Structure 1
Amino acid sequence: MINFLDYANHVFFFPSLLASGFLLFTLAALSEKQNLKKVLFWGAVFSLTPYMIYSDLIYHGMMHLLGCMMGEVPLLLDVIVDYMSRVILIPVAIFIFGRTLSIHWSPSLFMLSASVGVGYLGMVVGKTQVGAALVNLVAIFIWWKLLWNELLFVRNTQIFARFGFLGFVTLFSMLVNLAMYVCVRMIEVTPEFLNYLVFVSWFFWLTLTIAVKLIFRTVRLTQQAEIARNHDKLTGLPNALLFSNYVQDLLFRNPRKRYAFVAFDLENFKAFNERFGFEEGDGALKFMADTFKTLFGERYVTHVSCDTFRVVGDAAGMKAKIKEAHDKIRSFSTQGVLELKAGVYVQRVENENVERCFMRARLAEATTKGVYDEYVAVYADEMGARERLKMYLIAHIDEAVEKEYIKVFYQPVVDINTNKLCGFEALARWDDPEHGFLPPLDFVGVLEDAHLIQKLDLFVLKKICEKYRVETNLGNKCVPISFNLSRLDFKLSDIYKELTRLTKEYNVPHEMIHIEITESVLDGDEDGYIREQVTRFQNDGFEVWMDDFGSGFSSLNVLKDYDFDFLKIDMMFLRNFSEKSKVIIRAIVEMAKLLHIGTLSEGVEIKEHLDFLKEIGCDRVQGYYFSKPLPYDEVMAVLKEKGVEV
């Protein structure tokens, strides 16, 4: 039985550890950080010390088998088995490195043979344990000095794929080593000839290393050009095309694995830029990119646009990584301005369309917008249904207007003191032949985002004027009708011109039309255009009301800067009808009286609401207590039934 120390001496155990450490460090430096544990494990499995043990086991096993079959094994066959036992494990290692670590065969072969070459060079040249260790150190130093800076630039597997001849150069060196090994084993050599072979081995190794350095330099220069073309200049991340190639390659190599597609958005980034400057904004994006690289690997992150990123990673543990990224971004933004939002789509079947996966992740991310305590959402099928509805609405708004699928419903406004009808609010509904009856929440926001809301609002205004003319011609008494204007109505159309045109066309007195605008309409009116239009409306006899008063952040500032005819108190105060709500509503009514502005409270649903508002002196009320929004004839019937004087 062979003694352990004798065997350790035979395989140059301690010098071999240097070559093993050399391989491990090189693999770790050139691999993705998230694969570090796998890299260290498989690198250790195939490093020189265990590699030699495997080789000896294979060699002695094969020789025993051949001895049983042939009796005496010819020297040539012995040499071939000996050499093959040292080479046969390299393809196995290359295969495992490719499957588990995503390292191309060419650098795998080069780094494995470099490690083995350094180890065997130490054994041949150094001859003793100490001598081998010294030779190994010198060889590793030279290798590092010549190749390390080049290797750091050559980490792109796509680049290596195009420079596969690096692997063929390595194969050539292995064949030369085989020839030398056969000489040593089969020829009776003199000490002088053996020293000559040692010199040739050293010189050949050095020459090969210098040749590879030149190859790497070419690769590096090519890669730098690739980086300039295929990477984002600010973050250094792959651009969309290169990222897509990486993702397709990842999915192709791991068809049975489930991956998560993540869309990230940096909320409030515009405000951050305005507050701290573009240089700080760029710093925030770089910090995000570095954070994502660390968590997901640089190949599987891309900077899509100003404040959005895309990421692909293993579905297992993805939420934990998203939380870590979210917490790091929050700590970076010490003022709490930036908030990272994420949408996740988990792959369901093999070969799913990558772009569709990211679209679904984006849909999930959109649901977190404006929700303070929610920063991540996972895609669900109903999100896709909403997106399809959204696309349908955008595509069919013109048809809905033309064929009058848009219906105008009316909700009564009642004078609280006389219980008389004093107006209506006109509200749009969409009665679609395919999707059925759609409430405003389903389509108003969609049309605003698509910059199509002016088509809806102008149609509603036209129907209001038409209705006034029809009722007047029938001899019926009419009351003023209010309708809502969006901020985009002022930006995308000449709303003043359209309103005056329609009132003239249908001969509608201006006092019969009331315009409702919310605080958000007036927000950001730096050039004063909307203020100018509001003044024009009022000068022409149209009343302008402030809608949803009390729901915004700066309602009092708006009230200071504009002369509104009425305040519509937001319905949320009555929905949560507490003592605090009563104090606030009372204060709003009293303030409005001092400013000579009328008050109207929305959301009146029970008699308690009505009695309280009457007690504090509110002028008008609106809500389900009188009627929900209905077609004109139906609402008139409801009012008659409830005893409201028309």
Structure 2
Amino acid sequence: MNKTHWDESGLFQAILDKCPVGIAVINYEGIYLTVNPAYCDIYGYTQNEMLNHSFTMIFPSADKLPVLERHQRFLEESTRLGGEWSVMHRDGSQMTVFSESVTFYPAHGLPARLVYVQNITERKKAQEQMKIAAAVFDASQEAIVVTNSENNIVTVNPAFTVLTGWSLEEVKGLNPREFKSGRHPTFFYTEMWQTLNETGQWIGDVWDRHKDGTEFLKELRISVIKDPDSNVINYVGMFSDITLRKKQEELIWQQANYDAVTGLPNRHLFKTKLEQAALHASRTRHIMALMLIDLDQFKSVNDSMGHRAGDELLGCVALRLLECAHNADCVARLGGDEFAIIIPDIDDPAECTDIARDILRTLDSPFTVNGEAIFVSASIGISLYPGDTENLEELFKNADQAMYAVKNAGRKNFRFYSRALHDAIHTRLRMIRNLRKALAENQFVVYYQPIISVKTGHITRMEALVRWFHPVQGLISPDAFIPLAEDTGLIVPIGNWIAKEAITQLAYWRQKYDPELKMTINLSPVQLRSQEFEDIPWIRDLQSHELDGEAVTIEITEGLLLNSEKRVNYNLKMIHQIGIQIAIDDFGTGYSSLAYLRKFNIDFLKIDRSFVEDLKGVGFELCTAIIAMAHSLGLGVIAEGVETEEQENLLIKLECDYMQGYLYSKPLPADEIEKLLVLPYRR
């Protein structure tokens, strides 16, 4: 009997040991009586570690008591129990197992529990992942289409239907080629499938059709799903509609690279084009030319007709430039009224000359804007790559210098960059630095030249004239630095300083010599354009010295009145209102107009010295006409440049009111002029 029982028990244990399913026998108290190797492997323990221990060892601490109570009820009710359980591996990780328990009655002893266990942790994870994948599939904002190995549609997600308009029932079994737009050539799809077969993935933009026939651009990603034997099971395509985004990107790119007014490339794109042209020139050993074009007096169009008219004019200019430079790599608008042209593959610089002349000739024809004919000209600077420089920044600077040299020489022309021009520019920059230093170090001095009254023969006025005594170069002519001071705006502080000195000197001379003496001060157009009347400092100097406005006359040029602006008009009006008289300098050399003499309340005309020098010739008739016209308008006349008694006598005969020139005195420092005030000149 005992031998038979041993044999049965041994056979049972042998079966347990070989069984691939985890099996355990648990007694009434919940103690492991038997565990097979498969059961131990599931939980990570050895048989010795599990035998004679409570089966609750595989459960988290919080679950041990409830599980034990359930075990007791199970034994008492003798029921079959199965299900999924969350348990702990020996290493502390969580697991999910499926177990089934039955009541077991051994030959001897109390009933026990026979437990069969399978580790379903990975399967459970896979199920969860499938649930998540299904949820993502349904909730994804991207359209998803799944096809079989024949590329026929198996399923689509809701986003596919929303995006394309096609439902699953309508597309199931169809090949996605049914939706193609026809925009792509055959080789596009051939290359797509070649990449897909070689790499298992393809990403790109594809034009397709909605259900309603409208075309849309989609960003598509296709992945290949294969079985363990590398056979294709499915193709999964994911895409979104990027039509609007693409349009927005194109718009942003357009705005970032093209000028909104003319449609030409802007400065940003021009820079890229210039770099590409330079690389091409280096590779091919050809010449590349950069041409900078600046419209002359364009600001006056904006000021007189408004910016909308100015923009329309710029658009018209752009079209003419494109016609003249049709072989150019790039015609760009750099900003304002400045354009640039890149001319590649030049064999002879004369080709640039032909284009520049063609541009100047084309711009000669008037433009019609708002029904009005507008004339513009241009100043053009040209620099050559690599002849002038291989540095693109220097190339641009060279062309810019050449262009401004044209402007300084009178505009409406073109010029190539040269070393001589470079030296002249640096001389100019050095002069500007010296001007700033001269202002800071008080290197300027005011000289005075007397103006004689023909009626009394006395000195009744003084003209204040600036002189620059450079510590190294000595006396620098006003003709050399005044235009430069005007170009740089330095004429404003210099002019204000001259006026302050002259007014201070006038107050002193009036008190000491002649209370009726007047001072003439030259005002640059820049001074009247850049300052408000209330901010002109020498106006306050008049008040501080208790001088009336009548003590001062300002000299301005005809050109200022012809091209006057709102601020200039206001300043002249206010200057006249406080009693300051206004004289037109060098009258007759410009576009003399009777209308502005009345409009701006002009008090004096100054006959240009060139007419006085020619009093024996045509100058006599011109002086006669100017004096007669001025007197008929109630204006006084001052003749400058009087150097001989013969000129003086002729001007007296013509009834000129005042005379000024070397016959009476050259411009002198204040202390030397005082000698003339003590003994004033008399005819």
- Whether the 8 Å CA contact 2:389–2:395 is kept in 1: the answer is no
1:518 to 2:557 alignment: yes
Equivalent in the alignment of 1:582: 620
- Whether the 8 Å CA contact 2:273–2:329 is kept in 1: the answer is no
Equivalent in the alignment of 2:356: 322
Equivalent in the alignment of 2:42: none
1:266 to 2:295 alignment: yes
- Whether the 8 Å CA contact 2:459–2:681 is kept in 1: the answer is yes
Write out per-residue CA displacement over residues 500-534 of structure 1, whole angstroms, 9 at most, x where no aligned residue: 43234445565543222333444434475224313
Matches within 5 A, 1:250-261: 250-255=277-282, 257-261=286-290
Equivalent in the alignment of 1:503: 542
Matches within 5 A, 1:87-102: none
Q: Secondary structure at the match of 1:302?
A: strand
**For the structure 1 residues 554 and 302, does the alpha-carbon distance in structure 2 shift closer, same or farther, using more than 3 Å as the test?**
same
**For the structure 1 residues 622 and 354, does the alpha-carbon distance in structure 2 shift closer, same or farther, using more than 3 Å as the test?**
farther
For 1:307, the aligned partner's letter is D
Equivalent in the alignment of 2:522: 484
| 2-structure distance, mates of 1:417, 1:377 | 53
| 1-structure distance, mates of 2:514, 2:300 | 53
| 2-structure distance, mates of 1:251, 1:242 | 14
1:238 equivalent among 225, 245, 265? 265
**For the structure 1 residues 286 and 593, does the alpha-carbon distance in structure 2 shift closer, same or farther, using more than 3 Å as the test?**
closer
Equivalent in the alignment of 2:403: 365
1:532 to 2:573 alignment: yes
Report deviation, 1:287. Answer: 0.8
**For the structure 1 residues 584 and 495, does the alpha-carbon distance in structure 2 shift closer, same or farther, using more than 3 Å as the test?**
farther
Report deviation, 1:592. Answer: 2.3
Report deviation, 1:219. Answer: 12
| 1-structure distance, mates of 2:449, 2:397 | 39
Q: How many matched pairs?
A: 434
Q: Secondary structure at the match of 1:286?
A: helix
Report deviation, 1:586. Answer: 0.9
Report deviation, 1:449. Answer: 3.4
Equivalent in the alignment of 2:231: none
Report deviation, 1:304. Answer: 1.0
| 1-structure distance, mates of 2:651, 2:522 | 24
| 1-structure distance, mates of 2:636, 2:401 | 43
**For the structure 1 residues 461 and 220, does the alpha-carbon distance in structure 2 shift closer, same or farther, using more than 3 Å as the test?**
closer
- Whether the 8 Å CA contact 1:422–1:480 is kept in 2: the answer is yes
- Whether the 8 Å CA contact 2:469–2:476 is kept in 1: the answer is yes
- Whether the 8 Å CA contact 1:468–1:478 is kept in 2: the answer is no
| 2-structure distance, mates of 1:271, 1:475 | 47
For 1:424, the aligned partner's letter is M
Equivalent in the alignment of 1:591: 629
1:248 to 2:289 alignment: no
- Whether the 8 Å CA contact 1:496–1:537 is kept in 2: the answer is no
Report deviation, 1:393. Answer: 5.5
Write out per-residue CA displacement over residues 300-335 of structure 1, whole angstroms, 9 at most, x where no aligned residue: x32112321122333352101211222233346485
Equivalent in the alignment of 2:316: 284
Q: Which structure's relative contact order is higher, taking Cα pairs within 8 Å and 6+ residues apart?
A: 1
- Whether the 8 Å CA contact 1:413–1:425 is kept in 2: the answer is yes
Structure 2 length-normalised TM: 0.54
**For the structure 1 residues 430 and 582, does the alpha-carbon distance in structure 2 shift closer, same or farther, using more than 3 Å as the test?**
same
1:454 to 2:481 alignment: no
| 1-structure distance, mates of 2:440, 2:526 | 21
| 2-structure distance, mates of 1:341, 1:578 | 40
Which is greater in Rg?
2
Report deviation, 1:277. Answer: 3.4
Percent of paired sites with the same residue: 25
| 2-structure distance, mates of 1:235, 1:534 | 42
Report deviation, 1:408. Answer: 0.9
Q: Secondary structure at the match of 1:317?
A: helix
Matches within 5 A, 1:147-296: 226-255=253-282, 257-270=286-299, 277-278=309-310, 280-291=312-323, 293-296=325-328
Q: Secondary structure at the match of 1:532?
A: helix
- Whether the 8 Å CA contact 2:503–2:519 is kept in 1: the answer is no
Equivalent in the alignment of 1:308: 338
Equivalent in the alignment of 1:377: 415
| 1-structure distance, mates of 2:311, 2:276 | 35
1:620 equivalent among 658, 662, 671? 658
1:441 equivalent among 479, 487, 499? 479
| 2-structure distance, mates of 1:495, 1:427 | 24
| 1-structure distance, mates of 2:318, 2:552 | 53
Report deviation, 1:440. Answer: 2.5
Structure 1: 5+ residue stretches without partners:
1-143, 151-164, 173-217
Which segment is superposed worse, 303-312 or 392-401?
Answer: 392-401
**For the structure 1 residues 455 and 290, does the alpha-carbon distance in structure 2 shift closer, same or farther, using more than 3 Å as the test?**
same
**For the structure 1 residues 362 and 610, does the alpha-carbon distance in structure 2 shift closer, same or farther, using more than 3 Å as the test?**
farther
Q: Secondary structure at the match of 1:600?
A: strand
**For the structure 1 residues 608 and 363, does the alpha-carbon distance in structure 2 shift closer, same or farther, using more than 3 Å as the test?**
farther
Report deviation, 1:589. Answer: 1.1
| 1-structure distance, mates of 2:366, 2:570 | 38
| 1-structure distance, mates of 2:337, 2:636 | 44
Q: Secondary structure at the match of 2:326?
A: helix
**For the structure 1 residues 613 and 398, does the alpha-carbon distance in structure 2 shift closer, same or farther, using more than 3 Å as the test?**
same
Q: Secondary structure at the match of 1:610?
A: helix
| 1-structure distance, mates of 2:584, 2:366 | 39
| 2-structure distance, mates of 1:282, 1:534 | 37
- Whether the 8 Å CA contact 1:235–1:289 is kept in 2: the answer is no
**For the structure 1 residues 343 and 450, does the alpha-carbon distance in structure 2 shift closer, same or farther, using more than 3 Å as the test?**
same
Structure 1 length-normalised TM: 0.57
Write out per-residue CA displacement over residues 2-42 of structure 1, whole angstroms, 9 at most, x where no aligned residue: xxxxxxxxxxxxxxxxxxxxxxxxxxxxxxxxxxxxxxxxx
Matches within 5 A, 1:56-71: none
Structure 2: 5+ residue stretches without partners:
1-181, 199-244
Q: Secondary structure at the match of 1:303?
A: strand
Q: Secondary structure at the match of 2:448?
A: strand
Report deviation, 1:267. Answer: 2.6
1:344 to 2:382 alignment: yes
- Whether the 8 Å CA contact 1:265–1:340 is kept in 2: the answer is yes
**For the structure 1 residues 637 and 291, does the alpha-carbon distance in structure 2 shift closer, same or farther, using more than 3 Å as the test?**
farther
1:430 to 2:459 alignment: no
Q: Secondary structure at the match of 2:578?
A: helix
| 2-structure distance, mates of 1:351, 1:385 | 15
**For the structure 1 residues 372 and 481, does the alpha-carbon distance in structure 2 shift closer, same or farther, using more than 3 Å as the test?**
closer
- Whether the 8 Å CA contact 1:330–1:336 is kept in 2: the answer is no
| 1-structure distance, mates of 2:627, 2:249 | 73
Report deviation, 1:429. Answer: 2.1
| 2-structure distance, mates of 1:397, 1:450 | 10
Equivalent in the alignment of 1:210: none
Equivalent in the alignment of 1:629: 667
| 1-structure distance, mates of 2:356, 2:548 | 59
For 1:446, the aligned partner's letter is L
Equivalent in the alignment of 1:23: none
Equivalent in the alignment of 1:297: 329
Q: Secondary structure at the match of 2:356?
A: helix
| 2-structure distance, mates of 1:611, 1:453 | 37
